[in-house]
Each structure stands twice: as C-alpha cells, then as structure tokens.
Amino acid sequence: MTFYKYQGTGNDFIIVDNRLQKISKNNTKRIAELCDRRFGIGADGFILLENDKDSDFKMVYFNADGNESSMCGNGGRCITAFAKYLGIIDNEAIFNAIDGLHKAKIEDHTVHLHMNDITKIDVFDRHLFLDTGSPHHVEMVNDVKAYNVKEMGSKIRYGSPYGKAGSNVNFVEQVSENIFAVRTYERGVEDETLSCGTGVTAVAIAMHKGNKTKANEVDLKTPGGDLRVTFEEHDDGYKNVWLIGPAVQVYKGEIEW
C-alpha cells in the first residue's frame, strides 16, 4: 500500500488514494496498527480519498483507534492539499465528508476549509458545548501551557453528560482580544493532539458567543502552530465559517496492508 503522510499544525494523518477501492474500510485493527507510533507509521488519524458522484472527491476519516469518526478539520485541509498533489483539483474543491459537502481553496501552502453552519451552542457556568462537525467541550483555564490536558481531558471526555460516545475537550486561555491559546484532548486518539481543526473552530465560536471577543477573525495558538477561524454571526447562529492554516506533505512510503 502506497501512503502519504501529511500534517496540519502538527495534527498528522496517513492518507491513501483509494479511488480504485483496494483498501477495505472494515479492517479497523490494521488501521489502528498503522496509526501506532511505535509499531506502525504513526498518526492521529487515517484518511481515504475516494471517488464521489456529487463532488470532486470523498473523505473517509478514521481515528487512531481504527474507528470511522466524525469530521476532522485539519484532516479536511490536508486531504484538499493531497487532492491537488494528485491533480484531482487545482486550487478550489468541493468534497464530501461524513457531515456533508465542504468547500475548500488553496492559497500558496494555506488551505481554507469551509465548515458547516453552527446553530446550537449550549452555555454552562464553566464551559460551552457545540458541534463543529465533531462534538466539543470548551473550557477556559488559567495557564493552559502548564495544564494537565491528558488527565483532565480524559475525565471530562467520559464524564456526564457525554458518556460512552464522549466529547473532544478544549482548554483555552485568552492571550488578547482576538488571540487564544488552545490545547485539545481528542477522543479516538485518547490523548492530547498538537492541534485540532474542529476544536479551534469550536473555540473561536465559543469565545465569541461567551463575549470574550467581538472579533469575527480569531487566531488560535496550538502546540503545533497557528490557525485562524473566520465567521459571520446571524440571529440563528454562525455561518460562513472558515478554518484556515497550513497543510504539508511530510513524506511518501509503502507498507504492507
């Protein structure tokens, strides 16, 4: 199996061209083995690019545990860069993912990904919850750099009301009016990742909803690099939401499937 390794602000993925349907989507054990950082290639997720009758291509995304998962924002940006590398697209794309169609565009090495509208945000005393293609718990903390993300994130991820299905968990510290530092615990990886695209999207919207910023362009600083989220506020929620950042091919290789 020929594979490609991509990363978007340190969120890394194994991507395979599966337009000929040679790779089975049912072999979750093998996908988990490939994502293992000691016994496999190593990645936060595994992505198949497939043909799609309604768009330029289809994105099929698996978490590092081998299970097919909800939308991955950084993965969506990386597969867009991969589609350009394959010659499927030029600088603009429409692709299908588990949460529907997404528009994307490439400017230099920066990929802009259009996210779904957000109509429901639950506001609590200590956190907010919203779905940006994947479910996200957003909580502000002091000194996020020193925070024990793995321990606290795992407790929240499995706790009430999320239960077995779980939620991704984002810990946030405000840096300035429109800049926030973010660290994310991702379900399916069951650890902190260097960056999470749907996570920073959730943080940007949550910080605006929670009156922490009035800006509709928000910069997010993750351990893996900087991302930007832009959006429009409407009476019925947030629309025209874009996730913006780099997507880089790291290497190409071959491995037994």
72 a catalytic residue: yes
Q: The dihedral of CA 162, 168, 172, 177: what is its sign?
A: negative
Q: At what angle do helices 73-86 and 197-209 cross, to 10 degrees?
A: 130
- Kindly write down the DSSP assignment for every residue of 207-243, as one continuous string: HHHTTS---SEEEEEETTEEEEEEEEEETTEEEEEEE
Contact between residue 46 and residue 31 where contact means Cβ atoms under 8 Å apart: yes
Distance CA 90, CA 72 (A): 22
Catalytic residue among 31, 32, 83, 196: 196
Q: Could you give the 3-state DSSP secondary structure of residue 136?
A: strand
Q: Which of 32, 72, 121, 202 is catalytic?
A: 72
Burial (Cβ within 10 Å: 0-12, 13-18, ≥19) of residue 226: middle
Which residues are catalytic, by number? 72, 196
